[in-house]
Amino acid sequence: MASSMDFFDAVRARRSIRRFLPEPVPPEVIEKALDAAILAPNSSNTQTWDFHWVRTPERKARLVELCLGQSAARTASDLMVIVADPRTWRRSLPELQAWVRSVGAPRPVQVYYDKLIPFTYRWGFLNSLAPIKWLISFLPGLFRPMPRGPHTRRDGQEVAIKSAALAAENFVLAISAQGYDTCMMEGFDAWRVRRMLGLGSAASVVMVIAVGRSAPDGTWGPQLRLDREKVIHRS
């Protein structure tokens, strides 16, 4: 395994690789990157993410097909599916409630996990709780800054997707730091990927990440980024 590189070197080394060499990535490299992924910041520490490491030849071949046969998927050593599911706060909540008590967290933090998280993250049948939650935030929001969601299932999905995207970034940078390469793919049939993985309709397939060692022609050319003054705003 290659030794880990400096963080900024890993950021610069990370490229979206379109073609990989036909060599396996050691499993311990993937495992270490997964350890980094689950350390990512996330909404209220609810950790509404899942990582599906597709490894068997049959399932991998099917996933390549669902990624439209693109070369990054076809030539990758490994494929990782990053999933966001706003319902999985229920999986996290008992441990979070026990944790805030064990560390002696302030009373408002305990109330947050006992009362506010269950209310905030539920949307009810056909989003039936959304109007109530909207009123609770809208009326006080006329007079002071207030959170404006999540109210609906879609709002909850958006929050979970943000958290999963942060985890995905940790994952690819950890792969780069170990001397390997990735491609974060959004070109896939999300509905069929969900079915293949046995996921419910609330789950969002955020991206499929191809992992391997870049081939010499793995990129189309030098990296292009807009001039920083076009995207960085100071006020």
CA dihedral 122, 127, 83, 148 (to 10 degrees): -70
Whole-number Å distance between alpha carbons of 28 and 35: 10
Query: Under a CB-based contact definition with an 8 Å cutoff, are residues 214 and 20 in contact?
Result: yes
Whether 119 shows a pLDDT value over 70: the answer reads yes
Whether 183 shows a pLDDT value over 80: the answer reads yes
Whole-number Å distance between alpha carbons of 110 and 98: 9
Whether 2 shows a pLDDT value over 80: the answer reads no
Domain range 7-88+155-215, its CATH number among 3.30.70.100, 2.60.120.650, 3.40.109.10, 3.40.605.10: 3.40.109.10
Least reliable range by pLDDT among 47-51, 119-123, 136-140, 218-222: 136-140
pLDDT tens-digit profile of 194-221?
999 999 999 999 999 999 999 999 998 9
For residue 3, give both structure tokens: 């030794």
Give the strand pairing for 204-212 and 181-185.
Answer: antiparallel
Q: Across-strand partners of 207? A: 82
Q: What is the DSSP letter of 147?
A: -
**Mean pLDDT value across residues 30-46:** 98
Bigger pLDDT: 147 vs 67: 67
pLDDT band, residue 138 (cuts 50/70/90) = confident
Taking each helix axis as running N to C, give the angle between helix 57-66 and helix 190-197, from 0 to 180 degrees, rounded to the nearest 10: 160
pLDDT band, residue 5 (cuts 50/70/90) = confident
For residue 99, give both structure tokens: 């944790």
Whole-number Å distance between alpha carbons of 155 and 92: 19
Residue 32 amino acid letter: K
Cα four-point dihedral sign 105, 92, 37, 162? negative
Q: Across-strand partners of 83? A: 50, 205
Q: For residue 14, which of 225, 207, 204 has the smallest C-alpha distance?
A: 225
Each domain of the chain, given as residue ranges in start order, spans: 7-88+155-215, 89-154
* Confidence at residue 148, expressed as pLDDT on a 0 to 100 scale: 86
Query: Under a CB-based contact definition with an 8 Å cutoff, are residues 111 and 70 in contact?
Result: no
